[in-house]
Every structure is written in C-alpha cells, then in structure tokens.
A = this chain, B = another copy of it.
Amino acid sequence: MRCCHICKLPGRVMGIRVLRFSLVVILVLLLVAGALTTLLPTVKEDKMLMLRREIKSQGKSTLDSFTLIMQTYNRTDLLLKLLNHYQAVPNLHKVIVVWNNIGEKTPDELWNSLGPHPIPVIFKQQTANRMRNRLQVFPELETNAVLMVDDDTLISTPDLVFAFSVWQQFPDQIVGFVPRKHVPTSSGIYNYGSFEMQAPGSGNGDQYSMVLIGASFFNSKYLELFQRQPAAVHALIDDTQNCDDIAMNFIIAKHIGKTSGIFVKPVNMDNLEKETNSGYSGMWHRAEHALQRSYCINKLVNIYDSMPLKYSNIMISQFGFPYANYKRKM
C-alpha cells in the first residue's frame, strides 16, 4: 500500500506529542518532588549556623569554646580586675569589651604592656553610651556561644566550666546564674520580680521565667535575632537604658516556644560593685529601676501582642561539687 503523505505526519506529530508529553511529565515529577520536600524536617537555624561557624581558630574548635562579651562604663578598675580572672577560664576563645566610655581612650596600650595574654581581648570603642551596645553582631565573634557578664560580676571558674557544659546540652536556651520572673496580676497587668514575689499556681516552691543575660551563656545567633526585632523594642531599651535582658528573654522564648532559660545555681559568684574607686554603682541602684522592669514587661507584651515567657522550676547544680552536695541530710 502506498503510504499517504498523511501517514508520515503522525510520525512527526507523535514525535512532537511525545516530546510535549515528556515535558509535562518532567514538570509534574518536579512539582511532586517539590511538594514532598515540604515534608522534610526544617534544618534548624542553629545547626546551620554551627556548620558555617566551624572555624578552627587558635587551636580551639569554635564549637567547643565561647566568647566573653563584657560591656563597661565608668568602672575600668573593676574591668581590669575581672579581665585578669576571666582571661584564664578554660574554653574561652576571645574577649570583646564593649567600651561605653565615650570620648575616653580604650586601655589597649596598658593591656598590651601587660602581655602576653592567654587569649585576644578586643576593646570596641562605642559611639554612644547605650545599654544595647553589647547586643551587636560583632564581626570578631567566631564562636557559637557567648558568655555575657556584667562588668561588676565575678563568676568562679568551676561555675563557668560547668555552666558551659550545660549550655552545650541546651544550646537554644540562656544558661545562667540569675533567675527572675514575671507575675500576672488580677488586672491583667504583669509585674517583674525575684524570689520574694509569689509564682502563680498552687504547687510547691517557686518558678522563674527569665534568666538574666548579664551572667549567662547563650547562642551567638541570638545577637542577630535581637537586631532583627521591631524598632519599638530597640527604642524601649534606649529610652529606659534598661531591659535589654528582659527583651532577650521575650525574643528567645517566642523563638523556641519554650522557657527561655535554664537556671544553674552558682557556687561562687560575687558582685564587686562596692570595690570600685569610681564611685559609680550601677544602673540597678536608680530609684526607678525595678518599676522600669515591670513597665518594660508590659510594653513588650504590647509590642509582641503576647506573653511568650514560660515558667520553669528546674534548678541545675553540679553533681558532687562542692563535695558530696547530693548527700541527704539525715
């Protein structure tokens, strides 16, 4: 039989049709694959950050070491005394001193003249004396963990070594030595307090809902998280020159959906503010300080339109330190 011209056409037409069909198939396959990847677990931010930050520096893996960030104002004598203590703490990678003494030279010369030092200490001159200067994303920071300490606080080395090991087990929470709480009142207005206030609920004991950052370990990615917060939060901290720590607890609790911090009971932690020659005694002595903190809690609840803080009654101590601290009192 003579094949008509039209018989060849189907060949070519089928060719085009098959091609088109194949293209449709490939597109569908890709769509299905794309849809199924939404079922994959979300790679946690901190895991990704840990991979990115895995830079071996000065012989210490930056996963196993931490950076001390210490903000200082008008207490250089205390600062230098504390630096002599902290510079020798195991697993310390670097110190970043946030120099809030505007217009005054940083003590680099003095520091260097008293070298060599176990680790690098960087004095960062600031442009304005702001409480939240210490929450910047410092380019010099290489570790996953930050140790943040107020410039009048002396925490013993065993306490720090232990608390860091606890942070490594709970890297998404603030692991620190100073617990505080918020309490709701019948008017719906929140209050800020310490142990003298009564926790809500009828159970035994107390609760805390915040761990203050001025004596704590936390994940360095939270500095970035802080910077990304609404301008109103930064403004609140600037207006009060207070509450950066309360804000951090709000932010972290909101971010992780559980209690923002874990309290580690310090064995040996002191406040040295009475020992300064400067006569300067710290922000918390201001008359309005405590009231400001309650004010901040309610402002933050407004800004975030929620109360994300969660209570905890877990207190962690180091087993066997001090000796036999687990023995029962008979």
Contact = CB atoms under 8 A, between A and B. Distances in A.
A32 interface: yes
A321 B6 contact: no
Interface of A (DSSP majority class): mixed
A9 to B, nearest CB: 9
A41 interface: yes
Nearest to A330: B270
Interface residues of A, number: 58
A266 B329 CA distance: 10
Contact of A319 (B4, B207, B266, B319): B207
A84 interface: no
Interface string A32-44: 1100110111000
A162 interface: yes
A10 interface: yes
Given A161-B203, A206-B320, 15 more contacts: A7-B7, A10-B11, A36-B36, A36-B37, A36-B39, A40-B41, A162-B204, A165-B313, A204-B318, A207-B319, A263-B319, A312-B319, A313-B318, A315-B319, A315-B326
For the complex of A and B, the 4 pairs showing the least CB-CB separation, nearest first, are A206-B320, A205-B321, A205-B320, A10-B10
Interface of A: 1-7, 10-11, 14, 17-18, 21, 25, 28-29, 32-33, 36-37, 39-41, 158, 161-162, 165-166, 169, 179, 195, 199, 203-208, 263, 265-266, 269, 312-321, 323-328
